[in-house]
Structure 1
Amino acid sequence: MADPELALGAIRALIIEDDPVMAQHISGLLQPLGITPDLVAEGVQGLKAAARGYNLLIIDRMLPGLDGLDIVARLRALEIETPVLIVSALGRASNTVEGLERGADDYISKPFSDDEFQARVRALLRRARREPSPDILLVEDLEIRIKARTVHRSGQYLALSPKEFELLSCLAEHAGSVVPRVLLLERVWNLRFDPQTNVVDVHVSRLRSKLDEGFTTRLIHNARGEGYILQARPVD
């Protein structure tokens, strides 16, 4: 039975994966969500197929013919903004950062749980549907206007510093997924990873207090040892 959250018309996904067992497994995870998958096992053919108007692209990191991240980069250069989920056996934080920086919307490491994979797919499709324009990021009751550099929660204006705004925007771009500290350092402060600095944690703490004060759900959460995630959760 199709997922009711996604049942708003035909949804097509392209799986670019050279491992036939993994490709069939991913296909089997998409079908219960009401998503029709197509399979391609080679990078160059995958790039050609990806330009055909799919709702979602699921791309293996290491492919014959053309690397998965090169596929993403070429699609973005062509201004093809189809949501991309990278699936890879390379699971270090630096691999995730590289994938996101090259244009992927999310990155999941093998082996992964079926529930997590499906949750990430649903999140990507919801995000793609609810964004009214590239200038506005919406996460639950949070509205971020990029050009105006304003933030509202449930209609209430929140006064943020420039760094807090950039930090929140980065988290919102990947809402529902863990954003590594190293990526936040590079995107917001233009710094390479420094294990001695706590600048990210300090700014997240200040930002969290501004976002959550007076609300029954918290938005920013710590993923211990990894980074932070923007996601609505009830206050304990």
Structure 2
Amino acid sequence: MRMMADDELIAALRAADPAALATVSDDDALRAVRRARPERRRPRWMMIAAAIAAVTVVGVPAGAAATGFMAQTGWFGSPNPGDHRDHCVDAGVTEYDCDDEWVDLSAPDLDKVVASVYPTWMPLAPGVTREDLTARVVSISSRDALTPVTSLRRAYESESFKDWLTAWIAANDAGDSAAQETASRVIAEAAGWPALVATDGGGITDIMRAFAERIAAGDREAAQAAAEYEQAPGWDGVERRELMDEIFDEVYGDDR
């Protein structure tokens, strides 16, 4: 079977009646997921553009249920219309689960849906507001595609993690030990944040913990390496590939 290009996939789904026989094959759906994922050696574990792209990118099916916001599709589970809801588990994909609703990232009210899933429990880094963080998640998420709602929650957590890396570096620069200790604690806790854990398909949170342990010990180079990998604002622009490779080897060992 010829593999469908993303634009063909979008056009086919938008033209199809969800009850019709036209569906996307399992192979096409899984190939689209795997094509979008980074290779294991360089698991871009907190790059949100890659995280959003890692889900199957499909158009909104005609007749999707209106559930309050235009961005809410009323479509749950597998990205393949007609699949049983538990098919998303069978497919072995961690970016969504059977209870995840798919969100239309091109909808005009995307900002309202993003705001509605803001994690109120999550600590914000100094100088960061809820409104600023929400606007950032909307900006990096907007595109002509669908994504499961968990990926929006992950975007919040990931962006906040980057903010705390930057906060640690700033505190270290200023010699503010109290602020540095607070940032170290949150950086360590981030490896247990729910959306990051739920979407961890390959040791991502283990890598976060490995960085966090070094950062908690006051290792500025480890903080900068994490900021480099995250493209966090606090990164000083100096590449630390050898240090990152060392940390990845600690986590993955021979499986890397």
Q: Same fold (TM over 0.5)?
A: no
Q: Going by fraction, where is strand more abundant, 1 or 2?
A: 1
Q: Which has the higher contact order (CA 8 A, sep 6+)?
A: 2
TM-score, L = length of structure 2: 0.29
TM-score, L = length of structure 1: 0.30
Larger Rg: 2
